[in-house]
Copies of this chain bind each other. A is one copy, B any other.
Amino acid sequence: MAKNQSSVPDTSRRSERSRRAIYDAALALVAEVGYPKTTIEGIASRAGVGKQTIYRWWPSKADVLLEAFLDLSGQAAEAAGQEPYTIPDTGDLAADLKNVLRATVDELSNPAFEAPSRALAAEGVVNEELGRRFVAQLLEPQLQLYVDRLRAAQETGKVRPDIDPRIALELFVSPLAQRWLQYTGPITYEYTDTLVDYALHGLAPR
């Protein structure tokens, strides 16, 4: 902190501007050249800051990128008029799940999100350490929202009590993820609605 004593009074505003420039640069760069070729030097140069500014705030490029993605997800949720990190509980489980999956469909096709997310996801497939950090810090907190919503549904008898919510959510989340990651099929609202219906009611006759 001593280093900042000579700063002008708008330090925090300047810091916020630098922080955002660094996030934007990191996301743009990883989208363009991929994770392995993204460097702190490259991010600093593109953001118009010194690389020491980045090293002061983040220990590695992985940390910059993960924070930039957290920020991006938060912004996307706000833009969609949602609270980040909640799934509404209207009492209609199918409708609530369909709504949040439709919002995910929109996010996945948003160009600001798609290219950097693909670059990070691709690296995670072959770089187990980064893949696990990506999951722990970005993906798992989002999946836990489904766990919470499914637990609430178990309490009102809408989901069977013997179901493990952490596995159950994968029946509708993972198909969408695989179609996005591997181009295994088109991604539409109709598709994600169908996944929810199949998962809740099952494939076997009732």
Contact = CB atoms under 8 A, between A and B. Distances in A.
Interface of A: 34, 118-119, 121-126, 128, 131-132, 134-135, 139-140, 143, 150, 157-160, 163-164, 166-168, 170-175, 177-179, 181-185, 191, 194-195, 198-206
Contacts of A195: 167, 170-171
A185 B199 CA distance: 19
Nearest to A178: B174
B182 A194 contact: no
Contacts of A171: 171-172, 175, 195, 198-199, 203
| Copies in the assembly, this chain | 2
Nearest to A133: B183
Nearest to A132: B183
A167 to B, nearest CB: 6
A131 B182 contact: yes
B184 A143 contact: yes
Contact of A202 (B122, B126, B164, B199): B199
A160 B126 contact: no
A206 to B, nearest CB: 6
A118 B131 CA distance: 12
A194 B174 CA distance: 15
